[in-house]
Structure 1
């Protein structure tokens, strides 16, 4: 047997392994402690001591570890560092969210103190701003909770009384009730003007002036859906945070560039991690979610989607934007495995949600040189398309193929900048739920696509399964996607699944110039 010092030096993954085993076996801390007491009362850990072991705060003695090992029918050596596999130390997240976590082990290297030192250094070396990191944290939180925030839903329902649709007059009345004064502007004050050498296209659409005035851009009078959304956001700031002053600025177009330019003007732009950046980004997210919930209350909006098969054009019935409708789909649907992108050319994601864990072909911090041009959002960005387009896609994730369906639409924001909205779902869980082998089905379809150069008509027997799933989910655009070809996509050109690869002996520039978008 190992002496106690050796055990301590080989126990960095021990707590995570015990926690993961316990959760896989559906045991509570009380259950595990009771099992240990039953085997060996004198060496059994208490509930509180087990909790400290799992959090890496205590290392059990050999006798106690032997008892725990007996409960799980493992050799004691299995719990130590030299018998570790990634699956054993990856955090168990249950059914919440689609993104896999990483193992924060050994725990002494992932302590709060060490992370507080390491994260700012990482941001500085990678050129990531504090605001960008804040948005990554919030997206991870959103995906972990699969876009369900009941407290924000309740706050919106209390204000809007679950009415749908809400008209501009209704929102003006609510704003007045909350003590907000509405004013209009056609030209920004001097301190809010963009730099004279500005090349990017953006426009301030509204801002808050303490103590209680909301200034709205006059151009919003011609865009009722955007006007309603902006009013709802400012009401959210008032209700949730009693307004947060200068930070309540709404921008159409390239808001990231606007933030950078105005931060540079104020000499505040930095890659350092400012706690206020995190707080303000979180407030903005909460108010955005509140606004969508106010305009599309959960029960009424889900019923509307169900009646119309999740068509994006329900936005016209309640006079909201396509963006609000598509984002709210991910929050109100009974099916949990959604993703949503708001994509600007050449390669920026203004908004991202991936409750189903779908990899990203590019990010919102830098332009990727080899994004897969077969993603629906890229195809739409390169087309002068009107209306929506559905697509069935096959994408390898962690070595296994998955089948997705998405609906995309090209729209213009208030600054007349084109961007593509895309809402989609992971079909694998829905296929499995109907008693089919999703992995086998998708592998078969993948091979058919490879044999056909990367895309193929879906065979009748697979189409039959997918149509059945589409009708159970009651999402019309899945059937439209099934009627077209299934397409192989990848997260980066370097892992292109097509044979021959799209990127073989070619540059990404030549692909975008010469490859015809079908």
Structure 2
């Protein structure tokens, strides 16, 4: 085998390593090319060639690789696959939300053609529906953009004129201007079972019958906040999609086996599933922006310290207020959950990258009960509950504060809404070390069985951060013990743990033991 072929076989991660080294040193491709020219003008790669190297389209000659390695003060061997450089092939988070990314390398296995073959097969083998994958893609897109969708915001503001609040009569007038007639129907909630046999109540809230009739459930007459949301969502469809009817049915209750267009969920990936899911999201975001326009709503939140109860003043549901907080707040490190028993997340947003307690693509019977949102599912408390929590993440311990509120959907199903923030960035911005404070609070909680009164110095630091953020429920959370929480029962940080111990098996260690046994036998 030639030297060139050998290099190709050992350099699947080479492009990723160069790209992440460049980004960690805050260099553009132009910067890196210029640095290489200073080392050796003849062998230095051009910007376009560097781009192809980073994308895995080209493998540089050994001499060119040596020039690049010289810029970063690395041995060329460091860039090979068998070099111990795991940290270098993991992309840094770039200030965006959501969970940290992974390197899609080797590049030839993540080509568009291979993914188009592999993704449908993965869905079929795991029992994941195309609609579930669509929602996962949209959630990742939403978190990556920090809930910032200015085009949808502008469209909603043009329709509503940035009025806050909008009353039912205002909404009906907007619908009338769209040339749409309203008809009322009567449909009470019925007991339905999902694909796993879990029973819940469900009913049709509203639907649009093109070209110009909007049907509304009479139950909405007594729930004006939900009536306004349904009207706003359909106005979003009229505005964004010209009343084409593809976004039609709005349901109350946990998501059933069919989507908003009535199509049955299937593990076969269909482009229509992606389109329907995206339109669901667009119309929902539009509805929130219409009912709570960004600037006046942010001003209202500032005046009331981000209290959830302002939903009563606006006559909208608490879920609308909590979801809009994550979009309009100048502080970007928010999360939002909408949880149903025993283990369904109907909605998730993680602009702060908080590890998921369970996925919205599977159900778990026993999530960590020290999360406020899960504790309240089994404890139907009146009013809301603020909590300070500490969790280990891949970036070290972090302090979160959340406000959780029990509620009922229109069908009568109990669920819990939760809006929360990551306090580490706020502590860092105030000149303190969020990681050190979180580590100290974690140690105190560990010593006290998982809960601890917040020590005075930490209390003072968190109180100061909460007041700078102007979020009143941070201060209420400080009046309760801090709690250790985890994303999975098998990773419980408490001593003793809340779950039965599970023996872990390190595959590499097992392989090494097998190899050692073979050597001894021989």
SS at the partner of 2:376? helix
Is the counterpart of residue 53 in structure 1 residue 49 in structure 2? no
Matched with 1:438 is 434
2:462 maps to which of 453, 462, 466: 466
How has the CA–CA distance of structure 1 residues 210 and 319 changed in structure 2, closer, same or farther, with 3 Å as cutoff? same
CA drift at 1:238? 1.3
SS at the partner of 2:18? helix
1:205-224 correspondence to structure 2 within 5 Å: 205-224=205-224
1:22-171 correspondence to structure 2 within 5 Å: 22-171=22-171
How has the CA–CA distance of structure 1 residues 227 and 239 changed in structure 2, closer, same or farther, with 3 Å as cutoff? same
CA drift at 1:24? 1.4
SS at the partner of 2:95? coil
After TM superposition, the score normalised by the length of structure 2 is 0.91
How has the CA–CA distance of structure 1 residues 194 and 457 changed in structure 2, closer, same or farther, with 3 Å as cutoff? closer
Contact 1:194 1:262 in 2 (8 A): no
Contact 2:168 2:224 in 1 (8 A): yes
Post-superposition CA distance 1:198-217 (Å, at most 9, x none): 95311110011111221111
- Counterparts of 1:170 and 1:34 in 2: how far apart (Å)? 60
Contact 1:209 1:246 in 2 (8 A): no
Matched with 2:332 is 336
Matched with 1:359 is 355
- Counterparts of 1:104 and 1:256 in 2: how far apart (Å)? 33
Structure 2: give runs of 5+ residues left out of the alignment: 503-522
Contact 1:200 1:257 in 2 (8 A): no
How has the CA–CA distance of structure 1 residues 290 and 86 changed in structure 2, closer, same or farther, with 3 Å as cutoff? farther
Matched with 1:501 is 497
CA drift at 1:152? 1.1
1:413-424 correspondence to structure 2 within 5 Å: 413-424=409-420
CA drift at 1:366? 2.5
How has the CA–CA distance of structure 1 residues 260 and 30 changed in structure 2, closer, same or farther, with 3 Å as cutoff? closer
CA drift at 1:364? 2.3
Is the counterpart of residue 448 in structure 1 residue 437 in structure 2? no
Contact 1:194 1:261 in 2 (8 A): no
After TM superposition, the score normalised by the length of structure 1 is 0.92
Post-superposition CA distance 1:246-288 (Å, at most 9, x none): 542111112234549964xxxx442111111011100110110
SS at the partner of 1:245? coil
2:373 maps to which of 348, 370, 377: 377
SS at the partner of 1:402? strand
- Counterparts of 2:291 and 2:261 in 1: how far apart (Å)? 32
CA drift at 1:180? 2.4
Contact 2:246 2:276 in 1 (8 A): no
**Which has the higher mean CA deviation after the structures are superposed, 136-145 or 441-450?**
441-450
- Counterparts of 1:117 and 1:237 in 2: how far apart (Å)? 33
Matched with 1:230 is 230
Matched with 1:479 is 475
- Counterparts of 2:258 and 2:12 in 1: how far apart (Å)? 45
**Which has the higher mean CA deviation after the structures are superposed, 220-229 or 38-47?**
38-47
How has the CA–CA distance of structure 1 residues 204 and 442 changed in structure 2, closer, same or farther, with 3 Å as cutoff? same
SS at the partner of 2:321? helix
- Counterparts of 2:214 and 2:99 in 1: how far apart (Å)? 38
SS at the partner of 2:381? coil
